[in-house]
Amino acid sequence: MAKKLISINLDPIVAARVDTKTPHYWDIKRRRVIRGADEEDSGRRVLIDTIPLRTLRKLVTNFRGIVDSSDHKAIDEVLKGGLDKLPKLFEKRPDLDKTWRKQAGPELAKAAVDWLALQGIEKFSPTGDMSRYLARGRKRARDEEE
């Protein structure tokens, strides 16, 4: 009998990798993200490292290039003031969050999958909003091969 694939929501992993201010941990047993200090159960939690700042800065800079010029000031503040302000910007501006996900989603989803692979989790069923960007990336790769 074939073993059923586990389902993992990529959204909290992507959020954890983008949040440069608060540490996030992967609970190995429960397969979920824990936000904040790792006081208890240190044996079954792994720190989720953030996306390298250079990569994140590049994604935000590219994002600035595709949004309306009236939003440039808000994004410039994030670039100058610290990338930890990015989640707060998206809380205030859900329209920018939607555009951000379209633009950076494929790379962020792939980074989440790569991080899971480093933890030894390679075969799983991705769920959440970010999982749809993986399907697009695979489809593009198949189209390019043909």
25-37 pLDDT, tens digit per residue, is 999 888 889 988 6
Give the residues of the chain that fall short of pLDDT 70: 1-2, 37-43, 136-146
Examine residue 50 and state whether it is found in any structural domain, yes or no.
yes
Model confidence pLDDT, tens digit, residues 109-130:
999 999 999 999 989 999 999 9
**Is residue 3 domain-resident?**
no
Domain assignment of residue 115, given as a range = 8-145
Q: 93 lies in a domain?
A: yes
| Count of structural domains, the chain | 1
* Residue 1 is assigned to a structural domain of this protein: no
Helix runs in the chain, H state only: 10-18, 53-66, 72-81, 86-92, 94-118, 131-145
